[in-house]
Amino acid sequence: MFADNPNMRGAMLMMASMAGFVFNDSIMKFMSADISLYQSIFIRGLIVTALIAALAWRYGVLRQSLQRRDRIWMGWRALGKAARPSVI
């Protein structure tokens, strides 16, 4: 019923995202009582990365049809980004 109406679907997605923010804030406040800020941010990052990867895999957006030449260039780029210190 709601999927047919784009406005209703948008409103539901907006409500879900706001609930996600509330859940994130609550969990961070709960975790910060026991562990340090940096540890809680690291754990949150791991959990969010896993959730986003699962969603991306579920919807099939991780599949890329790159040519071999492009994959090699992307590998070199990733290696260069990992080896180079970050400059702000």
Look up the pTM and report it. 0.57
- Cα 51 to Cα 44, 48, 55, 60, 66, distances in angstroms: 11, 5, 6, 14, 25
pLDDT tens, N- to C-terminus, the chain (88 residues): 556 788 898 899 899 999 999 998 998 888 888 888 889 889 889 998 999 999 888 888 877 777 888 889 988 988 888 876 666 5
Q: Are 31 and 43 in contact (CB under 8 A)?
A: yes
**pLDDT (0 to 100) of residue 28:** 86
**pLDDT (0 to 100) of residue 17:** 92
